[in-house]
Amino acid sequence: MDIIFYHPTFDTPWWIAALEKAIPGARVREWKSGDNDPADYALVWHPPVEMLEGRKLKAVFALGAGVDSILSKLKAHPTMLDPAIPLFRLEDTGMGLQMQEYAVSQVLHWFRRFDDYQALKNESQWRPLPEYAREAFTVGIMGAGVLGAKVAESLQAWGFPLRCWSRSRKTWPGVESFAGTEELGAFLSQTRVLINLLPNTAETVGIINGKRLEQLQDGAYLLNLARGVHVNEDDLLAALNSKKLKGAMLDVFSREPLPADSPLWKHPRVAMTPHIAAVTRPAEAVAYISRTISHLENGDAVTGQVDRQRGY
């Protein structure tokens, strides 16, 4: 079995050694320009078109939870990847726990009014504030996939009212479910903390805009853990400046790295991190890939395959 590997920043020698150890008989090589030798599987992140074009592969694995970079290249270069070749994304592989940590810590930060206390500290004010009512601090999760389910599960332990919104209705215990564009307004209207975990598709680009932000409860918060293109940043700034939104925590942006002249840097009610909410954990990823390849070779059922039409 031959596997080609390409990632512009990963420790490629470590990955090759780990994959060969986890997959008996596998020959793993780093793909470089001009390498047209046969391969059975490709493991990639932002792959060059020439790496995949014309190859007869059993499957391609994206080395992350999102596949939008591959799908966007496919739009420009439809022959890059034969439609019959399965495309897989990493399912969880440690990302679920990281998302849980991030979401729980930020929701509690806002619920306990630590943002307000930091603002008072900056003004040298010693002033206890009224507590928020837990039953009124509803958390709404946009995107009800593997990571959305993990985040909802972690927040249930804290007793917050929970709701989710996605393309199709979910039946998560203790979570109110909304589905489809026709129910998005109702979902937002009772949401105090909006957590975005949507996939990046043509339908979700710009979905968090002025109209949708206006449908949130007054004084709501936005936590964006998915993709920057989901949020209209000008509309977000307008909602913050009008105090419709009380705060935003952003891990992703429409342009990355965030340009130095972006007003988001200096906005007093915007906090941010540099796209680190959930990173690929190598050991867990190797375990998932090796297990999935074994299932594919044996003809067993697998999970994580991407529906290219849906985009996830």
pLDDT at 23 over 90: yes
CA 59 to centroid of chain Cα atoms? 22
Residue 117 pLDDT: 98
Residue tagged 């918060």 (tokens):
221
Residue 111 pLDDT: 98
pLDDT tier at 216, thresholds 50, 70, 90: very high
| E strand or H helix at 126 | none
Number of Cβ within a 10 Å radius of residue 89: 20
Amino acid at 86: P
Residues 6+ apart with CB under 8 A from 226: 142, 143, 196, 197, 198, 199, 200, 252
Residues 211 and 246: their CA atoms lie apart, in Å, by 17
pLDDT tier at 164, thresholds 50, 70, 90: very high
Q: Is the Cβ–Cβ distance between 59 and 296 less than 8 Å?
A: yes
Residue 159 pLDDT: 97
pLDDT tier at 91, thresholds 50, 70, 90: confident
Predicted confidence (pLDDT) per residue in 49-75, tens digit: 999 999 999 999 999 988 998 999 999
Residue 239 pLDDT: 98
For the question of whether the overall pTM of this predicted structure is more than 0.85, the answer is yes
- Alpha carbon of 24 to those of 19, 28, 142, 155: distances in Å? 9, 11, 40, 40
Amino acid at 40: D
| Among 59, 47, 56, residue whose Cα is nearest residue 5 | 47
pLDDT at 93 over 90: no
Residue 168 pLDDT: 95
The mean pLDDT value for 206-222 works out to 98
Annotated catalytic, 295?
A: no
Residue 65 pLDDT: 86
Please provide the DSSP assignment of 174-213 as one string: TEEEEESGGGHHHHHHT-SEEEE-----TTTTT-BSHHHH
Among candidate residues 113, 267, 275, 308, the one labeled active-site is 275
Predicted confidence (pLDDT) per residue in 265-284, tens digit: 999 999 999 999 999 999 99
Which residues, listed in sequence order, are joined to residue 193 by a DSSP beta bridge? 139, 221
The mean pLDDT value for 180-192 works out to 98
By percentage, how much of the chain surpasses pLDDT 90?
96
pLDDT at 92 over 90: no
- From 4-13, 102-111, 302-311, the region with the lowest mean pLDDT: 302-311
Among candidate residues 55, 163, 192, 227, the one labeled active-site is 227
Residue 66 pLDDT: 85
Residue 230 pLDDT: 98
